[in-house]
C-alpha cells in the first residue's frame, strides 16, 4: 500500500474513533425515572453554567449555550468542559433580560452564522434585539443587529420573550414579550409588544408577511396578542410553528401559529392577575385564536420542542415543555393537534427547567436555572 494511502487510512481511523468517542461519551447519572412510556436516566454533562437560557447543537456534537448574565459558551460533548465564546453582543442584564436564545443558520455548514436574541437598552427604555454573527472556533465575527423591537415605551426588566426558530423555508421566527403590560399594547400589531415576528436571515421582511405593507401592522409581525412567549418549535411533519407562553396567575398556553392570528392577550385569557383580579371576563372572543392547551395553575412554560429521535420510540411525535414554577418537564401526547395525554417528568429533581431540546443524536437535552446541562437517556 502506498504511503499516502496509509496516511489517508490512518486519518480516517482517527476521524471515526473521534466520532465514536463523541457519540459514546459517558457522564455521571444523577437520576433514574420510571415513566408511563419510557424508563430513563438523567446524565449530568455540566453543572457549571451561569443562568443558561438557549441551546444549539454544533455539527461536531458540541453545544452552544447562552447564559443570561452575558456570555455565550461552547460545552464539549466529550468532556463537558466549558469554553467562552468571544465577540457576542453585550446585553442589558436586568431582571428577566440578558442573553436569551441562540440558533444556527439553516446554512451553517457554508455560512457559519448563528443568531442570538437578547435584551438591549437601559432600565427605562429597552427592547428585544436579534443579532447575527459568524462563528470561527471560539470567536464570533461580523456581529450585526438584524432586528430591534419597536417597543420604545418598555421599561423594567420583564417579558422580553424570546425564542428563535427557523422553518423549512429558512424564515426566522422570534417571540417578543408584552413588556409586562396588561394594557392593550399586545392587541395592536403596529408595535412588537406580545408578537411573533417573521424575518429573512438578514433581517429583511418577507413579502408575504400579513402586514408587509405596514398599513395595518408592523411589517415584521406574524402573529400578535401574546403575553410572554418563551417556547417556539417547528412541527416535524407539518412544518407549522408551535408556541408556548406564560400566563399571569394561570392561563399558560400552547398555541399553533397561524398567519396574522390574534391570540387574545389580554382581551381573552384564562389567567387572572397576581392578586386574583379579573383581567378579562372572556376566555375566547370571535376573530381570536384559542389555545390548543392551557394550564391553570401556571406551570410557567419555558422551552418547547418535539421529539423525533430513535432513543425513545414511544415518545416520537410528543411535545415537551420545560416548567419553571412547576419544576418539571411536561410531556404532551398529541393526536394531530389534539392533546390526548400529559405527564410530569423530573419532578424529584426539583429544578426550574428553562429549556428542552431534541438532540440530533436522539437524546433529549435539558437546561436548568441551576446551571445544569442534562441528557435524558434510555434506562434499560
pLDDT at 183: 75
Q: What values do phi and psi take at 84, rounded to 5?
A: -75, 140
| 204 within some domain | yes
CATH of the domain at 199: 2.120.10.30
Please provide the DSSP assignment of 220-263 as one string. Answer: TEEEE--SEEEEEEE-TTT--EEEEEE-SBS-EEEEE--TT-B-
pLDDT at 181: 75
The number of distinct structural domains making up the chain is 1
The answer to whether residues 307 and 317 touch, using CB atoms and an 8 Å cutoff, is yes
| 54 within some domain | yes
Three cell numbers, residue 87:
465577540
User: Which parts of 105-250 are beta strand (E)?
Assistant: 113-122, 125-136, 139-148, 164-166, 172-176, 195-199, 221-224, 228-234, 241-246
User: Model-level pTM?
Assistant: 0.93
Per-residue pLDDT of 213-233, as tens digits, reads: 999 999 999 999 999 999 999
| 81 within some domain | yes
Dihedral sign computed on CA atoms, order 216, 218, 222, 227: negative
Q: Which residues of the chain have pLDDT under 70?
A: 1-24, 182
| 23 within some domain | no
pLDDT at 297: 94
pLDDT at 291: 98
Owning domain of residue 184: 38-378
| 268 within some domain | yes
| 8 within some domain | no
pLDDT at 12: 38
Distance in angstroms (rounded) separating the CA atoms of residues 169 and 232: 16
**Which residues are known catalytic residues?**
159
pLDDT at 17: 38
pLDDT at 207: 98
β 228-234/221-224 pair status: unpaired
Amino acid at each position: 500500500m502506498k504511503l499516502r494511502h496509509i496516511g489517508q487510512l490512518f486519518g480516517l481511523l482517527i476521524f471515526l474513533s473521534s466520532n465514536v468517542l463523541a457519540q459514546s461519551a459517558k457522564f455521571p447519572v444523577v437520576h433514574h425515572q420510571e415513566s408511563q412510556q419510557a424508563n430513563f436516566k438523567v446524565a449530568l454533562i455540566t453543572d457549571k453554567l451561569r443562568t443558561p437560557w438557549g441551546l444549539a447543537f454544533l455539527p461536531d456534537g458540541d453545544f452552544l449555550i447562552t447564559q443570561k448574565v452575558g456570555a455565550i459558551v461552547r460545552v464539549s460533548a466529550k468532556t463537558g468542559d466549558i469554553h467562552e465564546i468571544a465577540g457576542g453582543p453585550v446585553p442589558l442584564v436586568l431582571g428577566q433580560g440578558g442573553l436569551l436564545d441562540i440558533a444556527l443558520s439553516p446554512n451553517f455548514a457554508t455560512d457559519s452564522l448563528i443568531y442570538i436574541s437578547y435584551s438591549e437598552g437601559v432600565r427605562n427604555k429597552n427592547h428585544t434585539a436579534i443579532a447575527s454573527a459568524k462563528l470561527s472556533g471560539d470567536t464570533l465575527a461580523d456581529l450585526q443587529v438584524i432586528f430591534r423591537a419597536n417597543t420604545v415605551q418598555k421599561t423594567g426588566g420583564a417579558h422580553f420573550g424570546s425564542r428563535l426558530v427557523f422553518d423549512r423555508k429558512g424564515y426566522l421566527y422570534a417571540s417578543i414579550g408584552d413588556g409586562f403590560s396588561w394594557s392593550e399594547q399586545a392587541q395592536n400589531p403596529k408595535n412588537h409588544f406580545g408578537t411573533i415576528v417573521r424575518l429573512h436571515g438578514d433581517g429583511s421582511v418577507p413579502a408575504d408577511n400579513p402586514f408587509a405593507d405596514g398599513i395595518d401592522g408592523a411589517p415584521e409581525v406574524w402573529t400578535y396578542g401574546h403575553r410572554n412567549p418563551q417556547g417556539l418549535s417547528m412541527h416535524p411533519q407539518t412544518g407549522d410553528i408551535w408556541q408556548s407562553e406564560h400566563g399571569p396567575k394561570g392561563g399558560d398556553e400552547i398555541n399553533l401559529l397561524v398567519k396574522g392570528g390574534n391570540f387574545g392577550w389580554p382581551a381573552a385569557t384564562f389567567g387572572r392577575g397576581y392578586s386574583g383580579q379579573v383581567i378579562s371576563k372572556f376566555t375566547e372572543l370571535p376573530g381570536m385564536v384559542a389555545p390548543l392547551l392551557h394550564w391553570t395553575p401556571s406551570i410557567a412554560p419555558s422551552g418547547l420542542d418535539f421529539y423525533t429521535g430513535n432513543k425513545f420510540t414511544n415518545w416520537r411525535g410528543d411535545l415537551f415543555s420545560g416548567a419553571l414554577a412547576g419544576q418539571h418537564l411536561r410531556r404532551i401526547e398529541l393526536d394531530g393537534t389534539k392533546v390526548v395525554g400529559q405527564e410530569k417528568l423530573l419532578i424529584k429533581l426539583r429544578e426550574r427547567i428553562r429549556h428542552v431540546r431534541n438532540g440530533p443524536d436522539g437524546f433529549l437535552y435539558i437546561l436548568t436555572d441551576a446551571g445544569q446541562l442534562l441528557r435524558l437517556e434510555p434506562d434499560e
